[in-house]
Amino acid sequence: MQADSLITADYVLTMDRNLTVVQKGAIAVKDKKIIAVGPADELMRTFSSLQTIGGDGKVAFPGLVNTHTHAAMVYFRGLADDLPLKVWLEEHIWPAEGRWLSPEFVHDAVELACLEMLKGGITSYADMYFFSDSGARATKKIGMRAVIGAGIVDFPTVTGKNADDYLANAERLIAAWKGDDLITPSIADHSAYACSPETLKKSRECAEKHGVPLQIHISETAWEVGEILSRYHKRPVAHLEALGFLNENLIAAHCVWLEPDEIEMLAERRTGVSHCIESNLKLASGIAPVTSMLKAGVRVTFGTDGAASNNDLNILSEMSTAAKVHKAVSGDPTALNAKQALLMATRWGAEAMGLGRVTGSLEPGKAADIVLADLNQPHLAPLYDVYSHIVYSMHAADVDTVLVNGSMVVDKKKLTTADEAEIVAKASAWGKKIKKADTRF
Ligand SMILES: [Zn+2]
């Protein structure tokens, strides 16, 4: 049988229902899809292939999934650090966005974000931002998979005056991208404090009408919980539940401040939670009750949040940080083990974004979204447990090859779809302009 490519590795971590690991394994890819996974010698006998990728000293696993970010914010990386969320957002980030956001800014910044993510083994991400069409075009050009959300708020910004303007932007984004093989359009309500109940209901209706995912920030800070309580006499999750906003078609970012009954609601509604541990730590927002959520059956996944509050887009380090923090917080060193963390960063992430049938595991019929990482590194030797190494020891720089939808977008640590040096040079040029105009510097 003919395959387009055969990918071989010392270990193939499928992340399927049985968490099958194939030693000396291979993956056969044809027409953008995985057609077989199994022992390398068997697949080499069965398939003749145009190219063979990988080999000794490699581990293959599904492309990592970043379920919450604001990709274009990479251009504000390090612009304002060591501040509380409200001051950081209202006095630094929102004014910078007001001054700089444009279709060109978002396009160029998203190219940089995609470059950073792909080189760290992330093949899919969920985004909430403005000028979403530019973000979608840059993502498609670089060859990454994404759920791109059109940002919805009630106040004026550079892309609209009110909620109706933002919903019209979302309608346009959906019309332009629905059915694309890499980009899934989505509606991204900022939060229950920046969007009125009316706006949230309209967004939900629009998402249902078009069959697209919704995204929102929920209970990121204690301030937010107090604000929603004083406005609506309900905590944020209960408020959203009463509006019919919660379901499995929603990615809820943060979910730091939850009561047990809110955890139950998220589990019952099968709402995917994006846990953004590094952003929450850096902004001192708090630590989400992840072990309680997992126990209740909530589908918890990992998000980096924007690079202005992290400050990188690295799911390998999110897994490592989260796995350690939740051990410390729960006083239980068995909490959030390495296998569980990788599952959350792959198959569960894809499911939370509505892409469970498309990506998230290495199984026949799924898109070939595959990472090959180099195990021949000082910090990865010796090797007893490959899950442990990926979660606790692997660096983004160990990622060697990345396939998205069957295309090799990273080959021997180099992006194949655009000029890396040009993307980084553009970022520096934008940075110089931003710095020059900023009175704080
Ligand atoms: Zn966010």
Q: Mean of the pLDDT values across residues 174-193?
A: 98
Ligand 1 centroid from CA 363, angstroms? 31
Sign of CA dihedral 270, 271, 274, 275: negative
pLDDT at 441: 67
Q: Mean of the pLDDT values across residues 306-322?
A: 97
Ligand 1 centroid from CA 231, angstroms? 22
- pTM beyond 0.95: yes
Ligand 1 centroid from CA 308, angstroms? 10
Percent of the chain scoring above 70 in pLDDT: 100
**Backbone phi, then psi, for 331, in 5-degree steps?**
70, 20
The burial of 379, by beta-carbon neighbours within 10 Å (0-12 exposed, 13-18 middle, 19 or more buried), is given as: exposed
pLDDT-derived band at 50 (thresholds 50, 70, 90) equals confident
Angstrom distance (rounded) from CA 118 to CA 124: 9
Ligand 1 centroid from CA 57, angstroms? 37
Angstrom distance (rounded) from CA 275 to CA 246: 17
Ligand 1 centroid from CA 280, angstroms? 10
* Contact residues for 317 (Cβ-Cβ < 8 A; gap 6+): 278, 396
Q: Mean of the pLDDT values across residues 66-91?
A: 93
Ligand 1 centroid from CA 361, angstroms? 26
Ligand 1 centroid from CA 132, angstroms? 15
Q: Which of 38, 153, 144 is nearest to 94 (CA)?
A: 153
Say yes or no to pLDDT of 265 above 90. yes
Ligand 1 centroid from CA 374, angstroms? 31
Report the chain's mean pLDDT, rounded to a whole number: 97
Cis amide prior to 236 (ω within 30 degrees)? no
Q: HEC states along 258-307?
A: CCHHHHHHHHHCCCEEEECHHHHHHCCCCCCCHHHHHHHCCCEEECCCCH
Ligand 1 centroid from CA 309, angstroms? 9
pLDDT-derived band at 300 (thresholds 50, 70, 90) equals very high
pLDDT-derived band at 59 (thresholds 50, 70, 90) equals very high
pLDDT-derived band at 438 (thresholds 50, 70, 90) equals confident
Ligand 1 centroid from CA 425, angstroms? 26
Ligand 1 centroid from CA 260, angstroms? 23
Helices 103-119/420-437 angle, 10° precision: 130
Q: Mean of the pLDDT values across residues 112-129?
A: 98
Say yes or no to pLDDT of 440 above 80. no
Ligand 1 centroid from CA 315, angstroms? 15
Ligand 1 centroid from CA 73, angstroms? 10
Q: Mean of the pLDDT values across residues 263-279?
A: 98
The string of pLDDT tens digits covering residues 3-26 is 999 999 999 999 999 999 999 999
CB atoms within 10 A of CB 19: 15
Angstrom distance (rounded) from CA 275 to CA 255: 7
The CA-atom distances, in angstroms, between 216 and each of 53, 149, 153, 272 are 39, 10, 11, 11
Yes or no: say if 253 and 188 are a contact pair by the CB < 8 Å rule.
no
pLDDT at 409: 98
The string of pLDDT tens digits covering residues 364-419 is 999 999 999 999 999 999 999 999 999 999 999 999 999 999 999 999 999 999 99
Angstrom distance (rounded) from CA 304 to CA 266: 21
Ligand 1 centroid from CA 72, angstroms? 12
Ligand 1 centroid from CA 307, angstroms? 10
Angstrom distance (rounded) from CA 239 to CA 197: 9
pLDDT at 437: 85
Say yes or no to pLDDT of 79 above 80. yes
Angstrom distance (rounded) from CA 169 to CA 393: 42
Say yes or no to pLDDT of 439 above 80. no
Ligand 1 centroid from CA 216, angstroms? 8
The DSSP output letter for 160 is B
Ligand 1 centroid from CA 137, angstroms? 21
Identity of the residue numbered 412: K
